[in-house]
A and B are shown apart, each in its own frame.
Chain A
Amino acid sequence: MGAIFRREFGAFFTSSIAYVFLAVFWLFTGYFFDFNCLQNGTTDMSGMFQNMFLICVILIPILTMRLFSEEKKQKTEQGLLTAPVSIGSIVFGKYFAALLLYTIALLMPFVYALILSSFGMVEWGMVFANFLALFLLGAAFISVGTLISSLTENQIAANVVTIVVLMALYLIDVVAGNVSIGWIVKAMNYLSFYRKYYAITCGLFNVSTVVFYISVALIFNYLTIRVFERRRWS
Chain B
Amino acid sequence: MPGAGFLRLTDAIYETYIGVSMTIVWAGLSLGAVYALVALCLNITLSNTGIFNFAQPHFLMLGGFVGFELQSRWGMPLLLILIVCGILGGFVGYLEERLAIRPLGTHRGHAVLVTTVGFAVALEGAIIVYWSTDPYPFKLMASTQALDLLGGRVLPVDLVLIVLAISVMALLVLAQRTKWGLAGTAATLDSDVARLRGINVERVTTGAFIAAGALAAALGPVVGSKIGINHTIGNNLVVLTFAALAVGGFGSYVGCVLGGLITGLLQLATTYAFGDEWPLIILLAFLLAVLLLRPTGILGARSLRSV
The reply to whether chain A is a binding partner of chain B is no
* Residues of chain B having any CB pair with chain A under 8 Å: none
